A = this chain, B = another copy of it.
Amino acid sequence: MRAEILSVGTELLLGQIVDTNAAFLAQQLSTLGVDVYWISQVGDNRGRLVETFRRAWSRSDLIVVTGGLGPTEDDLTREAIAEVLGEEMVEVPELVDQVRAFFARRGREMPPRNAKQGTLIPSAQALPNPIGTAPGWWVERDGRIIVAMPGVPVEMRKMWEEQVLPRLRQVQGTQIILSRTLKVLGLGESAAEEMVRSLLASTNPTLATYAKQDGVHLRITAKADSPEEARALIASFERRVLDMVGDYVYGADDDTPAGVVGRLLTEQGLTVATAESCSGGWLANALTDVPGSSKYFVGGFVTYTAETKRLLGVPQHVLDTYGTVHPETSAALARAARERTGADIGVGITGVAGPDAVEGQVVGTVHVVVDARGTRHTESSVYSTTRTEVKRRAALDALFLLWRALRDVGR
């Protein structure tokens, strides 16, 4: 089944709101096994709406539209559908009564213009909207379907789940699509793709790579007649992926670097403390995003000057010999964080976030050290990117090193 998503509203074309409805619907349709080929945003303009609906009606089996179901003259989704199908909009007394009842529950009278929300065309059934005034439309004709829902996300989602999804499941039969995402740290997208190259041509399951905020994603997608069959396809394919790149796969699906590190720390009964210079608290902030992190994260230091580094316990001779940006300085920070707080593991980060070079070292330089009870793991990199990105990358390097160190202890 070929589907198309339309989002209606001039505010989308002015960039006043981000179209999260389309992403939600695309994701829902993809897990139903429906192929979404087109998504578009259209303004509250009758000519352009009709043109867009006409094209969609000519090429798609299913059109899911949100927005334009309000009571004003600018709300033209119903009118456009009626025009494209050559059908007439008729007020349905029971539907108008439902809209009127919605106002009555709020102690208000229905403004006359809202009567238009109680209209249908012959090919349409109404989709009830218990939390708003606009009922949806389920239109079926010539083997094609149009679903029209309100643009307000909370109303749309409720209508989708309670009204649309059950109807679509009936239409759609059994074929389903399942996905699983493996997540990689310590490799760029090109390098990861290179390592799994031979699997990229596979058609079922398919494999695709994406560069994301929390590392590189390897997404495995399988089509099958049952969830069990799809899961089995994914499981055997996943083993082949892991044979190639498993050493860098820190988790799957909803896992985050800080979440996985937290799980390993909890399992191993270890605690951690951080001492950050260039990353400025990013790492502590990420670690404490995880619920329950107070069990293993004892504390963090943002030592933004040579003076606060000394104060934490970095020896003067280290600063004199190596300066404030150096693997040895990061190591001294990691050690000081560990010893000051009594944590099992200390993390130290120095670097140059920019805009200016420091002690002759270029912007983007990052030195990360993980000191796990005296065993030192070091990683140095140079990132050519923005200040906030350098901070983020430095902290991600630290999470990568932490994960590696904890995983290898556990092995």
Which chain A residues have a beta carbon within 8 Å of chain B's beta carbons? Answer: 10-20, 22-30, 36-43, 45, 48, 71-72, 102, 105-107, 111, 114, 130-131, 152, 154, 158, 190, 193-194, 208, 210-211, 219, 274, 280-285, 287-289, 291-294, 297-305, 307-308, 311, 340-342, 353-355, 382, 384-389, 391
Contacts and interface: CB of A to CB of B under 8 A. Distances in A.
For the complex of A and B, list the 4 residue pairs with the smallest distance between their C-beta atoms, beginning with the closest.
A15-B27, A280-B288, A281-B284, A15-B26
Copies of this protein in the complex: 2
Contacts of A38: 13, 40-42, 48
A281 B285 contact: yes
B19 A23 contact: yes
A174 B194 CA distance: 50
Given A42-B38, A105-B384, A391-B289, A30 B14 contact: yes
A386 to B, nearest CB: 6
B304 A294 contact: yes
A60 to B, nearest CB: 12
B40 A12 contact: no
B291 A299 contact: no
Nearest to A151: B211
A384 B355 CA distance: 38
- The SS class assigned to the A binding surface is mixed
A40 B39 contact: yes
B282 A285 contact: yes
A285 B294 CA distance: 19
A305 B342 CA distance: 12
Nearest to A271: B305
Nearest to A284: B281
Contacts of A342: 307
A13 B39 contact: yes
Given A14-B36, A18-B19, A298-B304, A289 B26 contact: no
A152 to B, nearest CB: 7
A27 B14 contact: yes
Nearest to A343: B308
Given A105-B384, A107-B382, 16 more contacts: A14-B27, A15-B36, A37-B43, A38-B42, A38-B48, A72-B193, A111-B194, A131-B389, A281-B287, A281-B302, A284-B284, A284-B285, A288-B353, A298-B304, A299-B303, A300-B300
